[in-house]
Structure formats: structure tokens, C-alpha cells
Amino acid sequence: MKTFPFIYNEPRDFLKSLQPKAWADFFLGELSPRFSVTAIKAKVIAVKEETPDTKSFVLNPNWLWKGFQSGQHVPVTVEIAGRRVTRFYSLSSHPNDKYLQITVKRQKGGLVSNFLNQNVKKGDILELGEVSGEFVLEKNLPKDLLFLAGGSGITPIYSILQELQKLNGDRNVTLLYFVRSYEDIIFRSSFESMQKNASWLKIHFVFSDVPKEGYESGFLTKEILDKYVPNLKSTSVYVCGPAPMQTKALSLLEGLSVKSELFLLPGQNVTKVKKEGTVDVFLSLSHKTIQVKGERSLLEELEEQGIYPQSGCRMGICHTCVCKKQAGSVTDLSSGEKSQLGEENIQICVSRAESNLEIEL
């Protein structure tokens, strides 16, 4: 505690006031933009075009990077028009690879996915955060495994398949990859060579929009599962894809061992409800009152009005957007539960305004 300017009760407080880490970061940054003692910065060492709308970014992180497990995702922060924006992307490389790789498909209206695909090039620096995610292989792996991937939901699964290749066990693994067309298959050449060389792995592509001779077309159905996974009952299933595919998979696989990871497209994380009128949201730190409709998440409705609170996953996982609600009621969009009127922490990416609100922002 500081009792008088320049006099500190604790030597530790005095040292802190000098902000040694900020100075170290400044000087290290002068040596190389990748160097830092506070942030995981990664240099883009290659950009690979996977499909017309998907690129992989090969990254060389600094010494703060602590590694990951196949199937996990990492927050990536970029600065767009002077504003820091964070999104989560699955790692598509193997944990033992020399470099990391994220693979990003452009989403319609996706601020960061479009920015990365359009602007980021070899030599640029991206800021990463701590990895997270439970979509990883179980410890006691059964013999039969099924992976259901939809669109860019293939990225964590691709890393997991590389892990299985390294484990080299006596397993039967099936991948059913649902994608719009042959041209949209991400990692296509790797899959084609895996299919030739890995007897433990069977890969089937299913095209939803553009059928191709010799391939399945359509969506996930019981018939497709029965056709390609005859021993489904004894199979552990991993599902990663957009919400409709996920819902379908969970209903078809009820009672089985299923691990799933949802891939959300911008604006897809909430059910939009039609409401009459607006409610007032008082932002207590900036002393501002704005009106929102309470039709979508608070995060989206604030962003629409040019207010950009911190956010990451935008689906209620990472807690980056947590802030204190001081008064008023919200609906938690992941559970559908309405909150009490009193003080509590809320995740604004999955909270919709129900009444006038006061939040600490």
C-alpha cells in the first residue's frame, strides 16, 4: 500500500509500481515482436490455403507457450481497426509438432475469420492465450471409435486423428465428414493419403450441396450410421460440427458414449426472440444508458451499438465476457433460466436482457 507518493509500505509494492514486466515487454518487443514476458505471441511462419475459404496458419510461439492436447482450442487475439478482438480456434497440428497450426474457415459476417483469411500473412504476429477444451481423447480408449465432423468442425478431429496415428494401437476408427462439396474438404490431400496408408482408419465424405459420383450425399441419418458403423453400440463417438448436425447426432446416438464440441457461426449462439419495445441498460463504469431489444445476447446488442466489451468464445465457455450485473434480470441462453433481480456475475455472450439492467461495464 502506498502511504505517500514515493514511499511504499512493502518493497514488493514499490517494485510493482515500476512495472518491470511492462518495461521488459517494451525492450523485448524492440528486439523482436514475438518476444514478451506477459503474452503468448506467435509468428506466422506459413499460410496454407486448404480450400477456397479456409486457410491454415503455421505459428511459432514464444517461450510462454505451454503446449496443448489434440482437440483443444486456443484464443487468438488480433487488432482490427484499433480494437482488440478475440476468437477461439481449434489447433489442427499435433502436440509434438515443431510448430502450431490453426485452421480458420471464413464465416459469413465473421469479423476475425475474415480478417485472418484476408490480411494475415507470413511474418505477422498473432497473440494467443491459454488453451482449453475437453474435446480430447479419453484415457481408456475403446477399440472402436467414430468421429462425426461437420464443415470446419474437422479441425480438432484432424489433430486427434494424428494423435491416434502416433498411438498406433489396434483400433478401428471411422471418420464421417459432412461437408458441402468435394472442393470444401479441409485437409483433403492428407485424408486421401491417410486413407491409402492407414488400415485402422476408414474415411467417408458426405456432400450436402454438390453430390459427386462414388460418394455419399445428404446429411447425417440413421441409415448412414448403420451403413458405415455396424458395431455402433460398442463405439465411442466424438462429434464436432454446427448446431443442427450436433443436435441430430445426439438424438441418433442417445444412450451411447458421445463427446461433442459445438461449432457456432456468428449470430448462431442465441435463439433470436421477437420482443416488443426496448429495455434500458445502464453501464455503471462508463455512466451510459443504452436501449436494447432483449432479442439476442447482451454482447451482440452492445456491439451493435458500437460498444465492444471483452469477449472470446462467444458461447459461454471461456468466461472472458463475465461482468457483474448489479440489478435487473437476464435469461441465460444456454439453460433458458431467468435470473433473479439482484447482483451476480453474468456471461454477457449468453445472457439476454429481460428487464432494465445495470451492469458493471
Q: Name the site residues for ligand FES (rule: CB under 6 A).
A: 311-314, 316-321, 347, 349
**Per-residue cell: 116:** 485472418
Q: Angle between the 154-167 and 188-197 helix axes, to the nearest 10 degrees?
A: 30
- For 118-153, b/e burial (b = at least 16 CB within 10 A) is eebeeebbbbbbebbbebbbeeeeeebbbbbbbbbb
Hey, how many other C-beta atoms are within 10 angstroms of the C-beta on 350? 23
- Minimum CB distance to ligand FES, residue 174 (Å): 32
Instruction: Decide whether 141 or 322 has the Cβ nearer to ligand FES.
Output: 322
Nearer to ligand FES, 320 or 355 (CB): 320
Cβ 86 to ligand FES shortest distance, Å: 8
Q: How far is the CB of 262 from ligand FES (least distance, A)?
A: 13
Of 129 and 211, CB closest to ligand FES: 129
Distance from C-alpha of 135 to C-alpha of 105, rounded to nearest angstrom: 19
- The residue (of 120 and 321) whose beta carbon lies closer to ligand FES is 321
**Residue listed under C-alpha cell 428487464:** 355
DSSP string, 2-29: EEETTEESSHHHHHHHT-HHHHHHHHHH
The least distance separating ligand FES from the CB of residue 319, rounded to whole angstroms, comes to 5
> 128 or 321: whose CB is closer to ligand FES?
321
Smallest distance, Å, CB 286 to ligand FES?
Answer: 19
Cβ contacts of 54 within 8 Å, gap of 6 or more = 103, 104, 105, 106, 117, 152, 186
CB of 73 to ligand FES, least distance (A): 11
Amino acid, res. 293: K
Q: How far is the CB of 316 from ligand FES (least distance, A)?
A: 5
Under 8 Å between Cβ of 311 and 304: no
Cβ neighbors of 278 (< 8 A, separation 6 or more) are 291, 292, 293, 294
If the CB atoms of residues 89 and 207 are measured against ligand FES, the closer one turns out to be 89
Closest approach of Cβ 297 to ligand FES, in Å? 9
For ligand FES, the closer CB: 162 or 347: 347
What does the alpha-carbon distance between residue 132 and residue 152 come to, in Å, rounded to a whole number?
18
| Smallest distance from ligand FES to CB 80, Å | 16
- Contact partners, residue 118, CB within 8 Å, separation at least 6: none
If the CB atoms of residues 96 and 305 are measured against ligand FES, the closer one turns out to be: 305
DSSP for 37-74, written as a single string: SSSEEEEEEEEEEEETTEEEEEEEE-TT-----TT-EE
Whose Cβ is closer to ligand FES: residue 86's or residue 155's?
Answer: 86
Residue 318 CB, nearest approach to ligand FES (Å)? 4
Read off the amino acid at residue 167.
L
Evaluate whether 262 touches 270 at the Cβ level (below 8 Å): no
Strands (E), 233-285: 236-242, 258-263, 279-283
Residue (116 or 313) nearer to ligand FES, CB: 313
